[in-house]
Amino acid sequence: MGCVAKSDGRVSEDEISAARQAMDMLRLDEPQRQSAIAAYTRGKASEFDLDATVRRVAGLCRGRPDLRGMFLQLQLLAALAGNDLRGRPRELLQKTAAGLGVPGLEFMR
């Protein structure tokens, strides 16, 4: 989510709020929340390796389309909070979906 949020140049308060909402929705306890915040921060860094992360997530989601779908939905929350899926955030989401093996039509749906 941090990578998607930062992809348009800056992280807005709406994008931070979307990340908090995702953590609430997932009912993260405090240690999990701190881990999620750290991951979000790593995603914002210029040296963040999206391709490697997508490969790792794809491995974790192998055989679990429900997890893959949830992961993409969380990324979508970040993108929608930022700019209605225009420009770079949309490109990142499409790249992420492809890396997870999600066909283009399924992603668009």
- pLDDT per position as a tens digit, 28-66: 999 999 999 999 999 999 999 999 999 999 999 999 989
pTM value is: 0.84
Distance CA 98, CA 62 (A): 14
What was the pLDDT predicted at 27?
96
What was the pLDDT predicted at 50?
94
Exposure on the CB side of residue 11, measured as CA atoms within 13 A: 17
Structure tokens belonging to residue 75: 């990324």
Q: pLDDT category, 84, cuts 50, 70, 90?
A: low
